[in-house]
Copies of this chain bind each other. A is one copy, B any other.
Amino acid sequence: MELLKQRIREVGTVLSNEVIKLDAILNHAVDPALTTAMGREFTRLFREDNVTKILTIESSGIPIAFAAAQDLNVPMVFARRKKSLNSDTSETYSERVPSFTKGYVTDIMVSREFLTAEDRILVIDDFIANGDAARGLIRIIRRSGAHLVGVGIAVEKSFQAGGRTIRESGVRVESLAKITSLAPGRIEFE
């Protein structure tokens, strides 16, 4: 998606050979026009797949997943990263996932009531690096009996193994921008 690549070039701050900060468009501030266009691009890619629900994980995936859900007019569910007073773990699927950027392990959970065997789920997230969050969501979908239609990612760091290994497991993964290498002042796309 050319518009996304252009915005990444404009606002991305390369913090190391592995980390790019995209706070201005994805992880802290959100451009509604760009995000709406990303949501539409995912729904175009998965138009034939009869998606019944979009699943993402808090927080940065939510705006893109919501924009796709608007376009398809299906519910969006965001996995929670921890238990709150309002949650009941006896009614939830939970998975433990490490986070590459955050540097620690979190538990993610989805209430059983929002994933049924009749559902056809499109997973959407902002970033894929090692793929741990996406694999956690995929494990939850498998356990629920729902059908996984595929995974839509805004920015894939394709020099890390997440996208490749999930594709090798037979899952369709569509990324709107694939970064092949990072160096200060230089962002290379596939």
Contacts and interface: CB of A to CB of B under 8 A. Distances in A.
Interface of A: 15, 19, 21, 23-24, 27-33, 35-36, 58-59, 62-63, 66-67, 69-70, 73-78, 80, 84-87, 101-103, 110-111, 113-114
Contacts of A58: 58-59
A85 B186 CA distance: 20
23 contacts: A19-B85, A19-B86, A21-B86, A23-B86, A23-B87, A27-B86, A29-B76, A29-B111, A30-B66, A30-B75, A30-B78, A32-B73, A32-B75, A32-B76, A35-B66, A58-B59, A59-B80, A62-B63, A63-B66, A66-B66, A84-B103, A85-B102, A85-B103
Contacts of A103: 84-85
A22 to B, nearest CB: 8
Contacts of A87: 23
B30 A77 contact: yes
Count this chain's copies in the assembly. 2
A35 B59 CA distance: 17
Nearest to A92: B28
A56 to B, nearest CB: 10
A73 B31 CA distance: 8
